[in-house]
Amino acid sequence: MSEADPELSSMVQELWNSDTNRLKPGTDYRISLQGKAGTMDVQSQYEDDNDGKGSPLFTFVDETIFKKDTYLAFISLLDNYESATGVPEVVTPEEEAENHRFLDIMVQTSSMKLAHQYLVRKNISPEDLTDFKKQLYRIWFELYARRGSSKPDSSGFEHVFVGETRGGRTVIGFHNWIQLYLQEKLGHIDYKGYSFVANSPQPDENKHILALQFCWKDGIKPKGSIFLGVSPEFEFALYTLCFLSSPNERVKVSFSVYDVEIVCHHFNQKHIGTTYPVLVRYHTK
């Protein structure tokens, strides 16, 4: 496996250090890992487990954090989408205003300011804040047609942070802990256990990255990976940074106690197709 990019890792470390809205595991939130997820095929796993729900992943979240501006702006976007792929998205004026308000708040955070400065130094993003927000809107919020659809039915933000369903049985995207927690609280998530493969770090309740399996609505996410407890601004800045600064679909970075691959698929080189973290190594202190 390739080594971590030292320059990008240094930048991600700055983002991590600036994330004052990150929750502390075991204190601000608690999870119950339970058992390892099954290895059955998607269809049989879904049919086998659909009769009854297991225990939730989240056992506690201090929801006072959701009153922070960045969390409020992020959560306001989560109900703006039609989850089924193939169904064209209709963006109302109110929803477009929410998108712009979210970006207005994001670019004022320490995380996005650091990311913007780096991207300007690299001649990747415009220095003018208005033009930068236009760039962010294009890569995250402009609609495009996913595979098998003839009309715009998806966006980078919807896929990564909200989640989508394909064919009524498969969940795609959905790589955000806040959406997972809120949907689980509503009874729409059935957590199936953690994912674990040979040579990967053993998951535990104190790591900020988790590979997992879950059912959502009528579909199953056979294997997904998410950050836990991080702020919306950290994830948004990190994924924006990796998408714009690297042509590679897998970018390895090291920060804090984590060696992480950021998977970042480009869609038509203009939009984020998907992006999520994969924990490669965990350094014990």
- pLDDT tens track for 171-188: 999 999 999 999 999 999
CA-CA distance, 68 to 175, in Å (whole number)? 21
Residue 59 falls inside a structural domain: yes
Range of the domain at 18: 6-282
Structure tokens at 2: 């390739």
- 144 within a domain of the structure (yes/no): yes
H or E stretch at 277? strand 271-282
Q: Does 14 fall in a domain?
A: yes
The answer to whether residue 1 sits within a structural domain is no
Average pLDDT over residues 142-160: 88
| pLDDT score at 53 | 64
Average pLDDT over the chain, rounded to an integer: 91
Q: Is the pLDDT of residue 81 over 80?
A: yes
Say how far residue 122 (Cα) sits from the centre of its chain. Answer: 25
Q: Which of 185, 182, 206 is nearest to 257 (CA)?
A: 206
Q: Decide if pLDDT at 47 tops 60.
A: no
What is the distance between the alpha carbons of residues 171 and 42, in angstroms, rounded to a whole number? 10
pLDDT over 60 (residue 216): yes
How far apart are the C-alpha atoms of 270 and 282, rounded to whole Å? 33
Residue 193 lies in a domain: yes
Q: Is the residue at 114 inside a domain? A: yes
Q: Which residues are catalytic?
A: 159, 175, 221
Residue 243 belongs to a domain: yes
| Residues 201, 206, 209, 215, Cα dihedral to 10° | 100
Instruction: Say how far apart CA 58 and CA 56 lie, in whole Å.
Output: 6
Q: How far apart are CA 263 and CA 272, in angstroms?
A: 11
pTM: 0.93
How many independent structural domains does the chain possess? 1
Of the two residues 257 and 53, the one the predictor is more confident about is: 257
Most confident of 45-49, 54-58, 233-237: 233-237
Query: Which long-range contacts link 262-266 to residues 24+ away (Cβ below 8 Å)?
Result: 262/238, 264/239
Q: Is residue 81 one of the residues assigned to a domain?
A: yes
Sheet order of strands, 258-267 included: 250-255, 258-267, 271-282
C-alpha span between 66 and 55 (Å, rounded) = 23
- How large is the average pLDDT for residues 165-171? 90
Span 41-47, average pLDDT: 46
**Lowest pLDDT segment from 56-65, 140-149, 169-178, 224-233:** 140-149
The Cα 188–Cα 180 span in angstroms is 9
Interval 57-69 mean pLDDT: 98
- Confidence at residue 141, expressed as pLDDT on a 0 to 100 scale: 97
pLDDT given at position 285: 64
pLDDT confidence tier of residue 153, bands split at 50, 70 and 90: confident
Section 243-254 average pLDDT? 90
Question: How far is it, in rounded angstroms, from Cα 173 to Cα 160?
Answer: 5
Q: Report the percent of the chain where pLDDT is more than 70.
A: 93
Once rounded to an integer, what is the mean pLDDT over residues 198-220?
91
Q: With a cut of 50, say whether residue 42 has pLDDT above it.
A: no
Phi and psi at 16, nearest 5°, equal: -60, -45
More confident residue, 146 or 189: 189
* Total residues belonging to the chain: 285
